[in-house]
Amino acid sequence: MGISYNKADIDSIMEYLASFRLPGMNENEKSNYLNFSLDRFLKTLEIFPDDINEKSRVLELGASPYFMSLLMKKYYNCSLELANYFGDSKKVKTKEALVSEKFGVRHDIAFKHFNVEKEEFPYKAKSFDLVLFCEIIEHLTVNPVHSLVQINRLLDTGGYMIITTPNVLRYENVLKLILGKNVHDHYSGYGAYGRHNREYTPQELRVLVEGLGFRVVSLYTKVTGSIRIEGLSIKRFRGLIQFFTTRNRGSNIFLLAQKTGDAAPAYPGWLYESMHALKKEGV
């Protein structure tokens, strides 16, 4: 399932991604983000369905800062649509150039700008083979079901959805609770969407998507994190760390689900309360 790559390739992949000038991100921010997130990007590629290829229609929600987009273009060259949400401003520039002078690569990209938990997605029904919903669901404040119903609508019959999200059962959280510390995220200067508002267990994600027209193909947790810490490459120790991590305690959840039927909004009691208020607002 997904692409395969030699562990020795990680440095070259990082070099490739780091060579791109990215909108709104300085070199220090880019380096720190890539160092922390590359491991997760590569594990996301590992969960890709085998039948995704250059003919596939793929939607990446929350695409910025486009590292995953660049990896999909490099390894799959699929027909790729991108979406972002940067707030309610109407002055958002929806076209960008991703340029690597070092590798002689330029991608002129365009994206749709909309709020995934409040707006109808601006695409036709059954227009995609795969939708990526990565590191988004934990940021939602009101209605994750809306997003999943919309994703279901966009997927062709038999199409796939990938969700990645922090695992609320991760060892880090368990240790914090033992030490009497809080596991909830900080308030953010970027507003409500700048923080994690609701993290999930693997079983919660399974129940949620299975109730909305999906069959879970693969669901597991993995240890993810920085490739290097204070100049020391730790990628060779990743497998060892994972070996000692018991089931469902990895830092991130990786879920691949396949559409089996259409979905209508459903609000399970374990996730929602006071639903009359939500329905009154028309969300």
Q: What is the pLDDT of residue 61?
A: 98
Indicate the pTM of the whole model: 0.91
Q: What is the pLDDT of residue 88?
A: 84
Report residues of the chain scoring pLDDT below 50.
none
- Asked, as a colleague might, if the bond just before 166 is cis with ω within 30 of 0, I would say no
CATH second-level architecture of 7-265? 3-Layer(aba) Sandwich (3.40)
Rounded Cα distance between 88 and 139, Å, is 16
Q: What is the pLDDT of residue 233?
A: 54
Q: pLDDT of 167-212, one tens digit each?
A: 999 999 999 999 999 999 999 998 999 999 999 999 999 999 999 9
Q: What is the pLDDT of residue 279?
A: 63
Cα distance between the two ends of the chain:
36
Helix (H) or strand (E) holding 109: strand 105-113
How do the domains of the chain map onto residue ranges? 7-265
Q: What is the pLDDT of residue 9?
A: 80
